[in-house]
Structure 1
Amino acid sequence: MRLPGLPATPFERLAARWQAARDSSEIIHLDAAGCARMSRATIAATGAYLAEESRAGGYVAEIRHSEPLAQLRADLANLLGPDLSAGDVAFHHSASTAFAALVDAWPLPAGGRIGVVPGEFGSNAMVLAARAARDGIDLIDLPVDGYGRIDLDALDRHGPAGLDLDLVTFPHVPSQRGIVQPAAEVAARATAAGVPLLLDVAQSLGHVPTVGLGAAAYVGTSRKWLCGPRGVGVLAISEQIIERLVAPARCLHTASWDGHGPPVPLTGIAALGIGESAAAARVGLARAVGELVDAGTAAVSGRIAALGTLARRRLDGVAGWRVGEPLAEPSGIVTLVPPPGVDPHAVRDRLYAEAGILTSAFATSRAPREMTGPLLRASPHVYSDPAEIEALADALDRFTRTR
């Protein structure tokens, strides 16, 4: 806590700015990794677009909002660049559907090999398992340390054979453990070996630095650290990869057909489109990403990392709960392993119902090849306050001891 009379720090000024941009909340919101709080301006932009759809028609409204949507693509490309442009970015229903579309379209030989991590997000792991079963592809675990972080030294000890793969994919930041994978270092090694990297940035975009990672393709989402409305998935694919994808011809939005012979997929990233969508959510996301860019991604990441470190140090050991990642990890995701006999789902429910504190709880299906038991997760954003972490610690102690 800052002493009276001392000037506010840059992080405190940033926090005050983000707090002022949002309506006051009746709860303590510590679930940015699930669905973060939108600003009033983001909500207003979404609502204004819906009103225009009512007045002018949905397709007319989307044409009239082509400029903010183009700016959104450009901003997302810049957040993931520098080797991407606005034309390399498209939208989907969610990060999960975007990931499934890319894996389905990725050209892999029969008997091919995909490098993965045990801590892969459950939905993505299901998609990979289905593709592997369908096409006889082997899923090869990359070496990881005790936290599930890719072990670069172990990878290097295998030499070129360690990346004798056709594709590498993993989440930049897992949702069940607040570590930051060395994505740029893995991408550099994979590129040198001629292996593309498909990186899931659903939990990192707007959270930790994502510029210059060097992946061939990215998938992300609107509702988490970007503070946008739900329902927008993001794909960004490098020019070198997009023409190699073999996307199925699903509808008139993604393929052409003259009534004879097989449909012909559209060229480029358009082949991975989805047609009808909630355009209002995209317009809202454009405003939210603009706010992130205006605030400065380095400042946002720094504030979130500082809150994450503060939370781990305060919560580790409270009533027997233990933090699941290094205390100083530069991440806002804080996972908590319960003491014996304590159900994280029941504690989550009591935190919300009795203390007004929003957190998440997960079963092992979240990452079934890594998790050995259920977890509780807290995830503060820029607008969170250290006092809210203190409130969580007190309530966690109380509800654990009185279960």
Structure 2
Amino acid sequence: MSSSTDSAAARGKAGLGPAGAPLPHPDLAARWRAAREPAAITHLDAAGCARTSRAAIAAHAEYLTEESRVGGYVAEIRHSQTLTQARANLAQLLGPGLTADDVTFHHSASTAFAALIDAWPLPAGGRIGVVPSEFGSNAMVLAARAARDGIELVDLPVDGDGRIDLDRLGHSELAGLDLVTFPHVPSQRGIVQPAAEVAARAAAAGVPLLLDVAQSLGQVPTTRIAAAAYVGTSRKWLCGPRGVGILAVQAHICDQLTPSAPNLHTATWDASRPPDPLVTLRPGPAGPAGPAGSASGPPGSTSGPRAREKYDHSAFGPLDGIARMGIGESAAAARLGLAVAVAELLAAGPTAVHARIAALGALGRQRLDGVAGWRVREPAAESTGIITLIPPDGVDVHAIRDQLYTDAGILTSAIPTGRAPRDMTGPLLRASPHAYTDPGELEALADGLDRLTRR
């Protein structure tokens, strides 16, 4: 072990940052650890699925109990104010210019992104600015829209770290685009894109920005970006339950969106009447209605009072505002858990949480770089908690990930090249501490990585 590695190890054990100063906000870290069940493993996978607090779990469970007592729809109505406040809190974290009315929930960040790209008004032959480090699922969605509608995907200029190069991103590079989209923090490279600067330049060129904040919301500042739209997720840095995506769109953009798969939660047959909060049956012109869209005769029959009616394709339209981008049916209990998680973040102070995560990330990079031949991919001082490691030649990343878990009880992620095939030349190992992480856990990872790689 080199002297610099020895020094980094000593600082890590002492809870000191890379420069030898104490890591920021130790009281916050202690409170967040105490708010969670004792860890059964060394959890270094916040970028995959972070640890949820007891309070968020309790809110989730209590809501399920209420559903069993009064029914799912009634329970959701009873908690409508809590869910509205959660959307308002998310708008506060995203901002500026967003309110609760601009935020809705989705299944995941990926489905929210797919829904937006599908609904976004793009001309035939339009152009979308992208980056090579785009998340694999999003890249597939973009490629599918490009193939379907003759859209051209145009790479924005990036530097050697994959960061958008502002020196080469001028008005002329943006003016010919119809949309810009990229992940604020890539899943496979722990850098922060200069999203606020790109959004400002794009807006000056009349180009909207759709920003993926799945790996940044809760980890790095997101409040001053002024993107046209955002997608995110509950389960990562927000520490909420799985199964909740977040979609936010500025009001002036939202009514331009045209979802291709409308349903009774997002569109209406009668544009003058909003949907009912509860599912109800209304009598039709010939008696009680059957299932939505049914006639009184069997399929294909020519009998019955409604059989000769023509199907009016213009009789329905999307709801106003963000409601047209919702999903209707969902696991509402998870949304209640997210509501608590977001409130906990705001109560702790996002700035403090961000600073703690960034310091742990910097400490981890310094400690892990060079261990048994592994090399850290991003700059050491990058302000994220995502640490990506390039393996030594001949080392199987997935096998090391598995052995770290089974032999040492350490949870990390193996990142396959399909995560971002234009940004990766081989699999990576990813560690991602959160504010509740003890510095000694990074030291445990360094020791485990050294032992298992050499073995």
Range into which the TM-score falls when normalised by the shorter chain: over 0.9
Which residue is 1:49 aligned to? 63
2:96 maps to a residue whose letter is: P
Q: Does 1:237 align with 2:249?
A: yes
Measure, in 1, the Cα distance between the counterparts of 2:41 and 2:227. Answer: 38
Which of 96, 101, 124 is the aligned partner of 2:110? Answer: 96
Select between 282-291 and 265-274 the one with higher mean Cα deviation. Answer: 265-274
Instruction: Report the Cα offset of residue 9 of structure 1.
Output: 7.0
**Other structure's SS at 1:392 match:** helix
Which residue is 1:226 aligned to? 238
Which of 214, 224, 231 is the aligned partner of 2:226? Answer: 214
Kindly indicate whether the alpha-carbon contact (under 8 Å) linking 1:28 and 1:356 is maintained by their aligned counterparts in 2: yes
Which of 323, 339, 349 is the aligned partner of 2:402? Answer: 349
2:416 maps to a residue whose letter is: A
Kindly indicate whether the alpha-carbon contact (under 8 Å) linking 2:66 and 2:75 is maintained by their aligned counterparts in 1: yes
Give 1:82-121 correspondences, 5 Å limit: 82-121=96-135
Which of 182, 186, 190 is the aligned partner of 1:178? Answer: 190
Measure, in 2, the Cα distance between the counterparts of 1:163 and 1:145. Answer: 21
Measure, in 2, the Cα distance between the counterparts of 1:226 and 1:93. Answer: 15
Q: Does 1:302 align with 2:393?
A: no
Kindly indicate whether the alpha-carbon contact (under 8 Å) linking 2:385 and 2:433 is maintained by their aligned counterparts in 1: yes
Measure, in 1, the Cα distance between the counterparts of 2:206 and 2:25. Answer: 41
Which of 193, 202, 206 is the aligned partner of 2:205? Answer: 193
Measure, in 1, the Cα distance between the counterparts of 2:200 and 2:169. Answer: 12
CA RMSD of aligned residues (A): 1.4
1:35 maps to a residue whose letter is: C
Which residue is 2:90 aligned to? 76
Which residue is 1:338 aligned to? 391
Kindly indicate whether the alpha-carbon contact (under 8 Å) linking 2:361 and 2:385 is maintained by their aligned counterparts in 1: yes
Instruction: Report the Cα offset of residue 249 of structure 1.
Output: 4.1
2:344 maps to a residue whose letter is: E
Which residue is 1:33 aligned to? 47
What is the TM-score with the length of structure 2 in the denominator?
Answer: 0.86
- The 3 A distance-change label for structure 1 pair 2 and 180 is closer
- The 3 A distance-change label for structure 1 pair 301 and 284 is same
Instruction: Report the Cα offset of residue 162 of structure 1.
Output: 4.1
- The 3 A distance-change label for structure 1 pair 10 and 375 is closer
Kindly indicate whether the alpha-carbon contact (under 8 Å) linking 1:249 and 1:265 is maintained by their aligned counterparts in 2: no
What is the TM-score with the length of structure 1 in the denominator?
Answer: 0.96
Q: Which runs of 5+ in 1 are unaligned?
A: none
2:369 maps to a residue whose letter is: D
List per-residue Cα deviations over 1:31-83 (Å, max 9, x = no partner): 00000000000000000000000011101111111111011000000001121
Which residue is 1:140 aligned to? 154
Measure, in 1, the Cα distance between the counterparts of 2:173 and 2:133. Answer: 22
Kindly indicate whether the alpha-carbon contact (under 8 Å) linking 2:199 and 2:226 is maintained by their aligned counterparts in 1: yes
2:449 maps to a residue whose letter is: L
Q: Does 1:205 align with 2:217?
A: yes
Kindly indicate whether the alpha-carbon contact (under 8 Å) linking 1:187 and 1:215 is maintained by their aligned counterparts in 2: yes
What is the percent sequence identity of the aligned residues?
A: 73
1:133 maps to a residue whose letter is: A
Kindly indicate whether the alpha-carbon contact (under 8 Å) linking 1:33 and 1:225 is maintained by their aligned counterparts in 2: yes
1:364 maps to a residue whose letter is: T
Q: Does 1:13 align with 2:66?
A: no
Instruction: Report the Cα offset of residue 2 of structure 1.
Output: 5.5
Measure, in 2, the Cα distance between the counterparts of 1:272 and 1:313. Answer: 43
**Other structure's SS at 1:314 match:** helix
- The 3 A distance-change label for structure 1 pair 140 and 227 is same
Which residue is 1:261 aligned to? 312
Which residue is 1:151 aligned to? 165
Give 1:55-66 correspondences, 5 Å limit: 55-66=69-80
Which of 321, 324, 329 is the aligned partner of 2:382? Answer: 329
Q: Which runs of 5+ in 2 are unaligned?
A: 1-13, 17-21, 271-292, 294-310
1:148 maps to a residue whose letter is: G
Q: Rg: which structure is higher? A: 2
1:269 maps to a residue whose letter is: I
**Other structure's SS at 2:169 match:** helix
Measure, in 2, the Cα distance between the counterparts of 1:398 and 1:339. Answer: 14
Which residue is 1:23 aligned to? 37
Instruction: Report the Cα offset of residue 163 of structure 1.
Output: 3.7
List per-residue Cα deviations over 1:214-238 (Å, max 9, x = no partner): 1000000000000000000000100
